Amino acid sequence: MHPERVGLYSIERKLGSGGMGTVYLGRRQSDGLLAAIKVLPPALAREPGFVARFNREIEALRQLSNPHVVELYEHGEADGTYFYAMEYVEGETLTTRLRRDRRIPWREVVEIAIQMCGALKAAHDAGIIHRDLKPSNLILSTDGTVKLMDFGVAQLFAAGRLTRTGSVIGTAEYMSPEQAGGGRVSKRSDLYSLGAVLYVMLTGVAPFRGKTAIEVLQQHRYGRFDLPGRYVDDLPAWLEEIVCQLLEKDPDRRPPDAFVLSRRLQEGLRLSTRASEGDTSEGEGTFHPDTPTVTAEPRALGHASDAFRSPGPGTLMRDLVRAELERSHRAGPIARWLDNIWVLLAILALLVAGGVWWFQSRERVEDDSAAAFTGTGIEAEVERFFELARHYRRIGDVNRARRILETVAQLLTDRPESTALRSRVARRLKDLDEDTRTTNETPELLDGVEARVRGLLESGRREQAETLVRRLTELYDGDASAANLLSRVQELVDLSGLERPPVPHPRPR
């Protein structure tokens, strides 16, 4: 069931929905213009400062004009619901294409990437960072044009939360390491996400994968990915190098901006096309399209010695490549020093000795800890609770670890001789606060749950909605990041029970 009208647009059908709202196909009544109408969730309007952020960000987005960016027509508010109308593009999302074909040929990937660079350059020049670049935000139109949508929307939805808690904004599989750590983003953060999208288009899999979103974010920050060439046999080395550079952990090691990246992609595609057509004579220096072609004089077959008198362009290129390979593999002083069996054995012996020392020192530390627990008095008891809190912290139950430490702090309040222990408890509570500062966002597994519960209630399946909410409450019991969402869906179920009595189900005969 969709609304008949939103603002100046009459709604024809639903195009899709997600965590950021629902999209409808609408027609403007004044001139018949078709547009994609994105209706934002009503809960957003209740967030402090949302209306001001909405107007400010939408006005900035309206200034974007680029053939590869979905044009924003207008925005507004109707009956407490905020929406914006954007260009309707005939085609499919990159997600749909990947589900059908899994992989995309590398030449087409480069063509798509060049168009994406044009969209990113236009946005970055206007001071807008996308923050949520992913296949579902890319539309492949029927005429071959690639269009990027939802510019700045992620920042719009969570600007307040971002400044208060350091929450991460974006999609885990395509998020840059600095976003995953709740740090400051820049245009190079979008380039990292672009590199992840290129990786998926080329290989059919994400560069980093995990069972949970937290595992994926940790992989982005600290993990290593398989080289794309492992999945694609005909992938050029220059393209693999670009993808790997885009996925660098350090933003300073990525390309400086989308324009430079676009030029590199265009140059690589041009050289690959020339090589596939059999033209490998690059000459000395930069290629000039106006340089006249020089044809070689035919040689008589009887004078074989003339063929070795002057090397041709193919021989020159071969010799240059061979010389470069020999230079790159020429051993330096360190390599020559390591190319000795006795040196390697000595290094191995040092590593073994270091490992033995490390294990012995670890055993001594564990023995000291055990001795502390076998002691008597308040300190031994507090140490036992410290170890229990560390256990729950390691397994991810931060709330229970905090409750243990807060209880210990209360017990030590009226003991003047326990000042040092109270300081240690305070430090551990501070460490827990640091750990949870970047993990207060609503779990991604709960995305769309509110809409699902609402749908069950609207279709008269209240018992299923109650069962779903009860199981979610048991699953996320004590999880502060899910408390607000669980409260909202529970309120929906409670209100539905007040509106109409439950319908009894007939007993089976």
26 with 106, same domain: the answer is no
Tell me what pLDDT residue 329 has: 52
pLDDT of 295 higher than 70: no
430 with 452, same domain: the answer is no
pLDDT of 268 higher than 90: yes
At 183-194, the pLDDT tens digits run 888 999 999 999
- Show which of 407, 436, 465 is a domain's final residue: 436
More confident residue, 475 or 499: 475
Mean pLDDT of 467-473: 86
Q: What letters, b where the CB count within 10 A reaches 16 and e where it falls short, cover 128-143?
A: bbbbbbbbbbbbbeee
Supply the angle between the helices 187-203 and 106-125 in degrees, to the nearest 10. 160
Tell me what pLDDT residue 437 has: 58
61 with 104, same domain: the answer is no
pLDDT of 81 higher than 90: no
Q: Give residue 24's domain range.
A: 5-87
Tell me what pLDDT residue 301 has: 36
Tell me what pLDDT residue 300 has: 38
365 with 467, same domain: the answer is no
- Show which of 62, 87, 112 is a domain's final residue: 87
DSSP three-state, residue 84: strand
pLDDT of 60 higher than 90: no
In a domain, 279, yes or no: no
167 with 129, same domain: the answer is yes
348 with 490, same domain: the answer is no
Mean pLDDT of 481-501: 71
More confident residue, 385 or 247: 247
pLDDT of 367 higher than 60: no
Structure tokens at 109: 């990937």
pLDDT of 127 higher than 80: yes
Please provide the average confidence, as pLDDT, over all residues in the chain.
77
Contact between 160 and 183 under an 8 Å Cβ cutoff? The reply is no
What does the alpha-carbon distance between residue 88 and residue 25 come to, in Å, rounded to a whole number? 8
What does the alpha-carbon distance between residue 353 and residue 349 come to, in Å, rounded to a whole number? 6
Strand blocks (E) in 120-204: 138-141, 146-148
Structure tokens at 289: 């399209």
More confident residue, 260 or 213: 260
In a domain, 301, yes or no: no
118 with 199, same domain: the answer is yes
The vertex-366 CA angle with 360 and 371, nearest 5°, equals 125
Structure tokens at 273: 């096309």
Which residues on neighbouring strands pair with residue 26, listed in sequence order? 11, 35
322: how many CB neighbours lie within 10 A of its CB? 10
pLDDT of 68 higher than 70: yes
Contact between 85 and 149 under an 8 Å Cβ cutoff? The reply is no
CA 106 to chain centre: 22
Contact between 503 and 460 under an 8 Å Cβ cutoff? The reply is yes
In a domain, 176, yes or no: yes
At 40-59, the pLDDT tens digits run 877 766 776 667 766 766 77
Left (φ > 0), alpha (ψ -120 to 50) or beta: where does 448 sit? left
Mean pLDDT of 236-242: 95
Mean pLDDT of 30-35: 91
Domain harbouring 15, CATH code? 3.30.200.20
In a domain, 309, yes or no: no
More confident residue, 379 or 503: 379
- Angstrom distances, CA of residue 244 to CA of 14, 148, 194: 39, 23, 11
pLDDT of 398 higher than 80: no
111 with 53, same domain: the answer is no
- The confidence band for 167, taking pLDDT boundaries of 50, 70 and 90, is very low
Domain harbouring 206, CATH code? 1.10.510.10
More confident residue, 19 or 444: 444
- Which residues are part of the catalytic machinery? 132
81 with 99, same domain: the answer is no
In a domain, 9, yes or no: yes
pLDDT of 274 higher than 50: yes
In a domain, 397, yes or no: yes
- Show which of 60, 87, 114 is a domain's final residue: 87
Tell me what pLDDT residue 292 has: 43
Tell me what pLDDT residue 383 has: 85
Distance between terminal CA atoms of the chain?
34
246 with 383, same domain: the answer is no
In a domain, 459, yes or no: yes
97 with 111, same domain: the answer is yes
pLDDT of 157 higher than 70: no
62 with 153, same domain: the answer is no
Mean pLDDT of 242-250: 95
φ and ψ at residue 53, rounded to 5 degrees: -65, -40
Mean pLDDT of 157-171: 45
- The confidence band for 498, taking pLDDT boundaries of 50, 70 and 90, is low
pLDDT of 316 higher than 80: no
Tell me what pLDDT residue 389 has: 84
pLDDT of 14 higher than 80: yes
Mean pLDDT of 159-176: 57
In a domain, 285, yes or no: no
- The confidence band for 484, taking pLDDT boundaries of 50, 70 and 90, is confident
More confident residue, 293 or 179: 179
Tell me what pLDDT residue 147 has: 93
Total domain count, the chain: 4
- The confidence band for 365, taking pLDDT boundaries of 50, 70 and 90, is low
At 333-362, the pLDDT tens digits run 676 666 678 878 888 889 998 888 887 766
